[in-house]
Amino acid sequence: MKFSWKVLVLWTLPALVIGFFFWQGTFASTPVDMTRNAANSRMTYGRFLEYLDANRISSVDFYEGGRTAIVESVDPELDNRVQRVRVDLPISAPELISKLKEKGVNFDAHPMRNDGAIWGLLGNLVFPLLLITGLFFLFRRSNNLPGGPGQAMSFGKSKARFMMEAKTGIKFDDVAGIEEAKEELQEVVTFLKQPEKFTAVGARIPKGVLLVGPPGTGKTLLAKAIAGEAGVPFFSISGSEFVEMFVGVGASRVRDLFKKAKDNAPCIVFIDEIDAVGRQRGAGIGGGNDEREQTLNQLLTEMDGFEGNTGIIIIAATNRPDVLDAALLRPGRFDRQVTVDAPDIKGRLSILAVHSRNKKLDPSVSLEAIARRTPGFTGADLSNLLNEAAILCARRRKDAITLTEIDDAVDRVVAGMEGTPLVDSKSKRLIAYHEIGHAIVGTLLKDHDPVQKVTLIPRGQAQGLTWFMPNEEQGLITRSQLKARITGALGGRAAEDVIFGRAEVTTGAGNDLQQVAGMARQMVTRFGMSDLGPLSLESQQGEVFLGRDWMSRSDYSESIASRIDSQVRGIVDECYENAKKIMRDHRIAIDRFVDLLIEKETIDGEEFRQILAEYTFVPEKPQFIPQL
């Protein structure tokens, strides 16, 4: 159960107050209570005087300074038995003593006991002492709690997690698909274990290594592997943990981190998401951020300042290297920038082999087939893919993961969870024509990727899907391939237009048209694939960095902008007319495919090509055989 100092305060203070009053009520008894215990009955002052006149009083004991008396009297109503009674005396009765002397009554005055004052004083002292002691232990306990009141004076301390011997459970053997990055970082580990191997030839280890790559490619996993292999003290912290709302706190934390690191050198310091603290200084609308810039300045000084950081190796990770300060990236601070990119098919196969170690796969499942079907997947995506397949296997109560679970997991990861099947209606038939339009165009165009399957099972926001499987790992894309992709994306709208008429086209092609417009504009403005010539008219940066890119001017005039729009429209119109021609030329095959798709809801790519070959020539597409 999580400790809460607020709950402890709420329970401790009432308990102390109740205990104080219990103390007062139990021990601070007054002499009045003693007189009450000494006499079980009372007698009025008037009756006392009558008994005194009748010589029925034998002795009188005065208490409380003469305000109370314990009287021994003879009561005729009780057969003249002697009884002790209590009498409350008036404040002014000076004649009483004289009268007692006249009657010869024995009397004695008992001094007031000071017990009540003593107990009251003790009670008044004990309560503050108990309160102070309770608060002392309370704040002492809360000093160790994150965010507790005791942390008020320690917010300038580093929040880095320190491991004298990092036991992450991850080694380089557990990292697959990024062999080039592993080789770079293995040198760091080798230097830490065997520095003489490098110093003998005059080499020095890089002071910093920056891991750059998209999310999910394994940057943090590499850092864990380095920690597990190096066997030296390891510090890990996130870039966001340096910055606070108070100016100067981040710089103080950087100083504290490097002080601890120097005390434990040689060691490794891993800073995740360094772009949170390492952004360019002085950039941004309205000026920079003083706290972040002071933190960055301190980090620059500690990494390669006047004193240096001998024995400390900084490893940082980011997916936004474009926003980092130039002073942070120079040699002497981050000497190496290691790109951790999405793996190729060989890397994906290695990653799948790692993540499938603890999963029961059916012998019919081919990891190579999964690797070929998942281009662009990162290591995190592939791990999630196999986990989703294992969940589906358990849900279906199977003993091992089959190819069916793998296919469904790929569909779920890429397109979303499966929806309710469509009922047989006009809408379902229209969606079938739309998807068959994509598949027909993609199959008949030589430069288009082959069809993997066509389905009417809804997933995510899509009511139907046509899957294409790239036949090779392409770093470069030709103009004919781009036009084939545009034509294939327009195949669904072309089918609606040809089959149902222009008045019946639907909004189902909305996403397709966005992709078409983006590809056609990039052909004109970035790749020089139009009549405007080999000109790049737009920058290739994907995201705007405020202060640097927000006020950037256009690189071309209004007349060029008009020509760009005309060229984009020309490319799209040409591809759309080609798609409609394919629809008209293969109308009989389309109708057969639609009836089959409505009946089966899913058509495999190989089956699709075999049926289409009965009606027309299907071009052979190059098959990519990976060198595994």
Tokens coding 230: 């190096």
57: phi then psi, degrees, rounded to nearest 5:
-100, 125
Pairing of strands 465-468, 267-272: unpaired
Using CA atoms, how far apart are residues 466 and 622, in angstroms rounded to an integer?
Answer: 20
- Cis ω on the peptide bond leading into residue 266 (within 30° of 0)? yes
- The answer to whether 416 and 461 have CB atoms below 8 angstroms apart is yes
What would the DSSP string read from start to end of 176-194?
-S-HHHHHHHHHHHHHHH-
Distances (CA, A) of 21 to 14, 16, 25: 11, 9, 6
Tokens coding 301: 């000084």
Tokens coding 442: 């993609």
What would the DSSP string read from start to end of 559-623?
HHHHHHHHHHHHHHHHHHHHHHHHHHHTHHHHHHHHHHHHHHSEEEHHHHHHHHTTTS-----PP
Using CA atoms, how far apart are residues 573 and 381, in angstroms rounded to an integer?
Answer: 37
- The answer to whether 475 and 627 have CB atoms below 8 angstroms apart is no
Classify burial at 83, counting beta carbons within 10 Å of its beta carbon; exposed 0-12, middle 13-18, buried 19 or more: middle
- The answer to whether 412 and 460 have CB atoms below 8 angstroms apart is no
- Tokens 């004289």 locate to 98
Facing residues of 74 across strands?
82
DSSP assigned state of 266: S
- Across the beta sheet with 41-43, the strand order is 41-43, 81-88, 68-75, 57-63, 106-109
- Residues with active-site annotation: 435
Using CA atoms, how far apart are residues 578 and 440, in angstroms rounded to an integer?
Answer: 12
Using CA atoms, how far apart are residues 391 and 397, in angstroms rounded to an integer?
Answer: 10
Nearest Cα neighbor of 438 from 373, 490, 497 is: 490
Task: For 116-129, give one letter per residue: b (16+ CB within 10 A) or e.
Answer: beebeeebeeebee
C-alpha atoms less than 13 angstroms from C-alpha of 418 in its C-beta half-sphere: 13
Tokens coding 42: 């009372």
Helical (H) or strand (E) element with 26: helix 5-27
What would the DSSP string read from start to end of 339-351?
E-PPP-HHHHHHH
